[in-house]
Amino acid sequence: MTSLPAIPAANDGSPPSAGGRIKAAILGTGNIGTDLLFKLLRQPGALELALFAGIDPNSDGLARARALGVPVTAGGIDAILASPEIALVFDATSARAHLRHAPLLAAAGKVAIDLTPAACGPAVVPPVNLRAHLDAGNVNLITCGGQATIPLVHAVSRVTPVAYAEMVSTVASASAGPGTRQNIDEFTFATSRGLETIGGARSAKAIIILNPAEPPLLMRNTVYVLPEGDFDLAAVTASIERTVAEVRAYVPGYRLKGAPLVDEVKTPAGPRQMLTLLLEVEGAGDYLPKYAGNLDIMTASAWRVAQVFAEVLASGQNLRFRGAKTASP
């Protein structure tokens, strides 16, 4: 297997080690795509934003990008496919649209970073399993709750086996658009599955709550982790702190509200010690309001994933990407 270059420090803005910046496009000019636009302009790192593409010529995002001097188009994916110099594409459209886009991008040899629930490619969480999927031509960012809580469960499971994990994610109703509201079941399934397959829990559950409070509240997550047996609390805490620091490198508003809480609970196997982690995510305020940490962690994670892929591509390695699976919409 070809050795891969080290993951670059997040948000350092440094150019790739060789070959110049990698040209990227954003597909989708809504809130997610526009927030990602601002992140890439603020910290391009190893990327050059070559095109901001949508299908609504009157969208606010397209107007803002045009005013900032970014090349724009209302030609959607066709304009991206007609640009051979674009090597990496962020898809910030919808799951249904990405199911159509995925095979087209794969056939064109473009890396797709999927911010929709389509899940055509492997699910990635930057500090946990991204290195394992750098040969995938299409990667999926799961859900906002997954990006926030899977790293914490993984931090515990790499120290001691985890029998069960549960997360409760509370987000401002104002930050939950139609896509989120229409895909609650998909959110809970994808997140609970990610807690297991990526986080390392033997079984898991995910819950999302839309809070209508005014003014809107920050994204808050409560994570319950039940280790299988006795564990070294100091080692687990150190692992959690290391993971929090890794996520904060690209999501500065990611923070635990205190040290892990330990309580004794009754289980079918007898009394066990359960960890409770209280997590808050504040957005960077690039385009979306700071209370929309649930959306910010998705765009920040996409930025991080893209930087790593760009570094690999710019290094001149001739990677043969695995194609994305597709499904009928």
120 is a catalytic site residue: no
The active-site residue, picked from 119, 144, 298, 310, is 144
**Cβ neighbours of residue 269 closer than 8 Å, sequence gap 6 or more:** none
Which residue's structure tokens are 């724009």? 72
**Cβ neighbours of residue 211 closer than 8 Å, sequence gap 6 or more:** 170, 171, 172, 173, 217
Residues, the chain: 329
Residue 283 to residue 254: CA distance in whole angstroms: 8
Q: Which two tokens stand for residue 17?
A: 């080690």
Q: Would you give the DSSP letter of residue 206?
A: E
316 dihedral zone (left: phi>0; alpha: psi -120 to 50; beta): left
Q: Would you give the DSSP letter of residue 322?
A: B
Residue 187 to residue 168: CA distance in whole angstroms: 12
Q: Which two tokens stand for residue 314?
A: 């710019």
Cα distances from 84 to residues 24, 105, 181, 321, in angstroms, run 11, 11, 36, 17
Query: 216 and 289 in contact (C-beta within 8 Å)?
Result: yes
* Catalytic residue set: 144
